[in-house]
Amino acid sequence: MNRCVVVALRPVSPVERLFTVGAALCRRMEAEMEVLADPTRPDWPELEARLAELEGKGLTCFITPVSDLNARQVVEHAHRHECVTAVVVGSPTAWAAEGQDPWTRLECPLVAASDHPDLPKEQ
């Protein structure tokens, strides 16, 4: 079973930043990258093209469509797949604004890719 880093995208997520962080983790951990995103995103073809570009650079990537993606679904997805070694999101607090904080139930590391003070806040 291969290791897998999950990159979860909200509609307002900083896609390039998350892909950069996710790809770097995958290379260090010798893992595949799985992107969870809503298939109704207008930039879906661009996401697929960016993943194909990363694959051309030797990274195994795939995208999993999840309608109305929320934090609870991301945590449940990670629990269902024991190969998930980390989850990358933009801002955990932005996701948690949906209700109670489901990240506390996550059994693997959670990586906040855009909580740096010099980056714009994800709403």
Q: Which residue segments constitute the domains of the chain, with CATH numbers given? A: 4-112 (3.40.50.620)
Q: Could you tell me the pTM of the whole model?
A: 0.89
Residue with tokens 């997805």, as numbered in its chain:
77
Residue 112's beta-bridge partner residues? 89
pLDDT score of 121: 55
What would the pLDDT profile of 62-79 be if each residue is shown by its tens digit? 999 999 999 999 999 999
The percentage of residues in the chain with a pLDDT greater than 70, rounded to a whole number, is: 88
- Tokens in use for 109? 């590391």
What does the alpha-carbon distance between residue 63 and residue 7 come to, in Å, rounded to a whole number?
A: 9
Helical segments of the chain, H only: 15-29, 44-56, 71-80, 92-96
What does the alpha-carbon distance between residue 122 and residue 110 come to, in Å, rounded to a whole number?
A: 16
Is residue 119 pLDDT above 60, yes or no? no
What does the alpha-carbon distance between residue 89 and residue 112 come to, in Å, rounded to a whole number?
A: 5
Task: Count the alpha carbons within 13 Å of 68 in the hemisphere toward its beta carbon.
Answer: 1
